Amino acid sequence: QKLLLRNADVPVIMHTYFSQKVLLSEHSETREKTYGLTKMLIRKNITSLAQTFSLDDLDDELRQESSDNQVACAPQIHNNCDSKQHPLARSAVNDSLLEMVESQGAVGWREAQVQVVIQRVYCLPAREGYRSHVQGNKPLSAIPIINSDPPNVRLCLLVQDAYGMFSEVQLQSLTFADDIEQYCRRWEGKFCCLAGMKILQRTTRGRALGLFSLIDSLWPPVVPVKVAGQSQASETMTTNLPPPSFCYILTAQSGEIHVEVDEEEQISNLYQPPAVHGLKEILQINGCNERCSFWAQVLYLRLQTKHSVPINQREISLFVTDSTLQNVVHMIPKVVAVSVAASCVLSTEITEALSVASRLVFFKDVLWGNGRIICVERTVLLLQKPLLYSTAGADLSELTGPVRLDELDSTTQANSICAVKGIVVGVNESTAFSWPTCDRCGNGKLELCPQDRGLLYCNQCSEVVISPVLKMQLEVFLSCPSRSQSTVKVKVWHEISFGLFVLINMLLSLQSYEVQSVLGKEVGLLNCYVHSVTSHPNCVALEEIVLL
């Protein structure tokens, strides 16, 4: 705040945790007297800033008696402390986060408590800590889906007080994020008392877009909230308030964690569970950076292949569908891509489940905007079906028949999956190659056995490979009626099981494939990943894939 002092030419910049302009008038003075008995008073001595900075020409009007300067603050939930004690005494429980910050300061509060409602439970990468909020949209390191050694993560709560104010509480570090499902189920929607907290940061909308996109999805409150400085009679409580513009990041004092969750208590009326929508409805939302939740079947996953990006910071693409997409005839894709950013923490349960089979996954608080669905920080992926979340009339019936992909056509875009059929009109011989793999673990880097040079040896299994699997890669050009003006290039894979001696003789004799054996053959329907779609030249590059 820039302050221009009376009778002084030197401006003062005041840095505070919170400031609010109060304009006194006859009406407000009368209202102070009317509601004065219902408020709790904290005595504060007002010191002139001109006096503090030793400026001349002090105005005598600023030297007021402290008895005239009692500042009213929000009332407490339980006022059972002794009248001789400070209002924020040991046994007091407050319901205002802002009042706790104003009265206790940045170093934190040990004895005082504040009661809040837990709106969301999620994990953030622990090694980034609260600095992740300063970085805005910069990607954070997190667990990649192929990494077997995930980093520590920090359990976090997004809480809201009776005045509608939010805070993010960063709790203890977890070795894995596997407990997030039970924390969500047991804690979300419950009242909780915070004590022993300290302020890590006061962040704003411009510095923490991800955090505020989640807060915006919970605004306005579903029930009227209190208004600071006003009587708490029901007629003055309101939901017609502007969304929060700042948020305090809190953490426990070192070595102390005081978060008491009343798990037996009923769900708070202030709690807003995620509204679950069908994917068809989400694709029709016009907003930008909207948080949404859905239940979908994961068909295929793919790790970003940009070698310039470290492997633990690469995005993952999950290709998902649901009954609302599978039952659509035209205009809407049957499968959509969900990008999992490096800042999204995935539990080992999720990564292991998706590495072996197609699973039904609940995507909570993903970000939708500019035609993309993105899992970012504070997005949670769960395998268990939530009980409390509202479905908003969406069709969430499970898939019963086989999954259908969109066929390749003029609307197909890069980084999607589709089904392809056509006739082979050419083969790229220069890229054709084959290699033996282990029939037990799939290891493609077999070596000659040290004891017997006529045998193949697998270092991962530490055993001789008797019946290796020959993998072959071939690039073919297809003539596709659905894209008659385009060159369609498909990278196809084949696996053939051979006896060892047959395989070795074949590898020694083959330099390339017999092109004539595949030309003119009809192919389809192949499930493919779309690498690129270009107009000059008019070409579509595909790769054959196997769905989960």
Secondary structure (3-state) at 280: helix
Report residue 313 CA to chain centroid gap.
15
Alpha-carbon distance values, 520 to 418, 423, 426, 477, 526 (Å): 22, 6, 9, 10, 16
Q: What is the pLDDT of residue 189?
A: 93
The amino acid occupying position 382 is: L
For the chain, give every residue range classified as CATH 2.40.50.140: 279-382, 416-544
Secondary structure (3-state) at 365: strand
C-alpha triplet 412, 331, 485: angle, nearest 5°: 35
φ and ψ at residue 268, rounded to 5 degrees: -70, 145
Q: Are 177 and 184 in contact (CB under 8 A)?
A: no
| Architecture of the domain defined by 279-382 | Beta Barrel (2.40)
Q: What is the pLDDT of residue 52?
A: 58
Q: What is the pLDDT of residue 61?
A: 43
Residue carrying structure tokens 């089904």: 419
φ and ψ at residue 132, rounded to 5 degrees: -65, -25
Q: What is the pLDDT of residue 76?
A: 29
Q: Which residues contact 151 (CB under 8 A, 6 or more apart)?
A: 125, 126, 127, 141, 142, 143
For domain 92-125+152-225+242-272, the CATH class is mainly beta
The CATH number of 416-544 is: 2.40.50.140
Sheet strands (E) in 333-378: 336-340, 360-369, 372-375
Q: Compute mean pLDDT per 10 residues along the chain, 548 residues long, and list them.
A: 82 76 56 41 50 53 38 31 36 82 72 89 72 34 38 88 94 74 90 88 92 95 79 54 91 70 84 92 88 94 76 84 86 93 89 86 93 94 73 66 91 94 88 83 85 83 85 86 90 65 46 63 89 92 91
Q: What is the pLDDT of residue 54?
A: 61
537 cis-preceded (ω within 30 degrees of 0): yes
